[in-house]
């Protein structure tokens, strides 16, 4: 008996990577909200918000909160919280002032000792959280009170200053115009070095995103169509160049912006590319599963708080240098601003979700609100009201998108 072979050749896979537009409302919503807030205050302030000097002021005046937000986002991703960050900023600022001003320790050594002090504070709190099992809320609440008391003990009711020129330059200074200015037509002159840095940054963004897209295609994952991909990269490039041009027209790039850029790139790589970063997300996403998978959850929690202490010490040096003295009231409510920046930037209340860039965006939203409402002459109570509403809306949006995704 003859049999007819009815088998058909295998059809090629129907999946077409590159044909689907993927939009994550949880990640994209924060950037859309940031753009809308900037446009709103640009209109309300009559164009003053995006003036070169004002953009520089926004960055310099909020640098310490952005530094804290980088550490806070990692703490929140891991499922913890830190209420002591502001008090640690005050205490480490006081330590740096005593070393540099009173004891005349050379500023590089004084900065190193201050950062080590922050690490020791973080290790102290991390031990009680990770190895003794006390909730981070309680440990850091106790730390908020204790380190504020130590600050008052060291400083009393007076500030210590002035700081060395190098510290003031790091906090308030700008890069020198090494290559002079270049004409930009109606915009006037702009620092050539700053413009070169902006162009190199745009090139780095484009190369990084292209490599990421190629890697996703190599694994057969869905990516945006190429025109959409180009549009996204172009939007980021236009934003970066617009900010850099405005800064180059004022007083070049602030040194603290360069420091922030290094921190953002470094911590983004740690969070997204390293084993330790994956462990942070695993611990915050599902503690039991992470434990069963062999993740050293206690060690992760401990080092997260050590890192938070170091960044708080760095913020303390920057803040004290900006004011040119360490004061007993420094750091008040800084931890609340950092926590708000993390949640507004997309961190999940339950942990396991968040990005360093998102926390920076959340911090910039808070900075634009503060600056914009100051420019229009709004009273302080109205500023606090708006910031509270924005924070509540951000968390509500996060919960809504999660429920929507589950449904």
Query: Mean pLDDT score of the chain, rounded to an integer?
Result: 85
Report pLDDT for 3. 46
Closest CA to 317 of 67, 19, 124: 67
What is the mean pLDDT of the segment spanning 33-62? 88
What is the mean pLDDT of the segment spanning 197-213? 88
Assign 27 a pLDDT band (cuts: 50, 70, 90): low
Tally of CB atoms within 10 A around 139? 24
323, HSE (Cβ side, Cα atoms, 13 Å): 21
**Cβ–Cβ < 8 Å for 56, 247:** yes
What's the CA angle centered on 289, arms 287 and 294, to 5 degrees?
95
**Cβ–Cβ < 8 Å for 310, 89:** no
Assign 185 a pLDDT band (cuts: 50, 70, 90): low
**Cβ–Cβ < 8 Å for 129, 80:** yes
Q: Is the model's pLDDT at 10 over the cut of 60?
A: no
C-alpha 143, offset from chain centre: 23
Q: How far apart are CA 35 and CA 151, in angstroms?
A: 39
Q: How far apart are CA 379 and CA 297, in angstroms?
A: 45
Report pLDDT for 406. 66
Q: Is the model's pLDDT at 264 over the cut of 50?
A: yes
Tally of CB atoms within 10 A around 156? 10
Cα(first)–Cα(last) distance of the chain, in Å?
A: 55
Lowest mean pLDDT among 62-71, 119-128, 138-147, 230-239: 230-239
- Phi-psi label, residue 156: left if phi above 0, alpha if psi -120 to 50, beta otherwise: left
Q: At what angle do helices 334-344 and 85-97 cross, to 10 degrees?
A: 130
- Phi-psi label, residue 60: left if phi above 0, alpha if psi -120 to 50, beta otherwise: alpha
Tally of CB atoms within 10 A around 267? 22
Report pLDDT for 76. 94
**Cβ–Cβ < 8 Å for 254, 247:** yes
Assign 14 a pLDDT band (cuts: 50, 70, 90): very low
Question: The pTM is what?
Answer: 0.87
C-alpha 116, offset from chain centre: 22
Report pLDDT for 118. 96
C-alpha 76, offset from chain centre: 13
Assign 23 a pLDDT band (cuts: 50, 70, 90): low
Lowest mean pLDDT among 54-63, 134-143, 178-187: 178-187
Phi, psi of 183 (to 5 degrees): -75, 140
Q: Is the model's pLDDT at 13 over the cut of 90?
A: no
Report pLDDT for 127. 96
Share of the chain above pLDDT 90, in %: 39
């Amino acid at each position: 008996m003859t049999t007819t072979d009815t088998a058909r050749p295998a059809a090629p896979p129907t999946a077409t990577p590159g044909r689907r537009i993927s939009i994550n409302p949880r990640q994209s919503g924060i950037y859309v909200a940031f753009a809308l807030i900037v446009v709103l205050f640009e209109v309300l302030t009559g164009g003053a918000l995006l003036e070169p000097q004002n953009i520089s002021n926004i960055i310099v005046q909020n640098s310490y909160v952005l530094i804290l937000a980088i550490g806070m986002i990692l703490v929140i991703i891991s499922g913890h919280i830190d209420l002591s960050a502001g008090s640690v900023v005050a205490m480490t600022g006081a330590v740096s002032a005593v070393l540099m001003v009173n004891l005349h320790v050379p500023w590089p050594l004084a900065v190193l000792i201050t950062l080590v002090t922050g690490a020791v504070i973080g290790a102290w709190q991390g031990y009680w959280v990770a190895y003794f099992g006390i909730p981070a809320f309680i440990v850091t609440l106790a730390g908020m009170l204790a380190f504020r008391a130590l600050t008052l003990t060291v400083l009393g009711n007076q500030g210590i200053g002035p700081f060395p020129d190098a510290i003031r330059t790091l906090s308030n200074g700008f890069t020198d115009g090494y290559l002079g200015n270049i004409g930009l037509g109606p915009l006037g002159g702009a620092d050539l070095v700053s413009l070169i840095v902006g162009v190199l940054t745009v090139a780095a963004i484009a190369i990084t995103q292209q490599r990421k897209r190629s890697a996703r295609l190599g694994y057969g994952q869905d990516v945006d169509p190429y025109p959409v991909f180009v549009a996204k990269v172009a939007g980021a490039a236009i934003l970066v160049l617009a900010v850099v041009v405005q800064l180059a027209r004022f007083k070049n790039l602030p040194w603290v912006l360069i420091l922030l850029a290094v921190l953002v790139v470094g911590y983004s790589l740690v969070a997204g590319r390293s084993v330790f970063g994956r462990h942070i997300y695993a611990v915050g996403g599902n503690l039991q599963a992470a434990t069963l998978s062999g993740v050293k959850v206690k060690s992760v929690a401990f080092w997260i708080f050590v890192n938070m202490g170091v960044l708080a010490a760095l913020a303390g040096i920057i803040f004290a240098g900006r004011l040119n003295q360490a004061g007993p009231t420094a750091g008040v409510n800084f931890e609340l601003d950092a926590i708000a920046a993390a949640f507004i930037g997309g961190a999940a209340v339950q942990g396991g979700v968040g990005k360093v860039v998102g926390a920076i965006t959340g911090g910039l939203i808070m900075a634009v609100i503060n600056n914009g409402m100051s420019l229009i002459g709004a009273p302080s109570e109205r500023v606090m009201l708006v910031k509270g509403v924005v924070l509540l809306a951000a968390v509500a949006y996060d919960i809504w998108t999660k429920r929507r995704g589950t449904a």
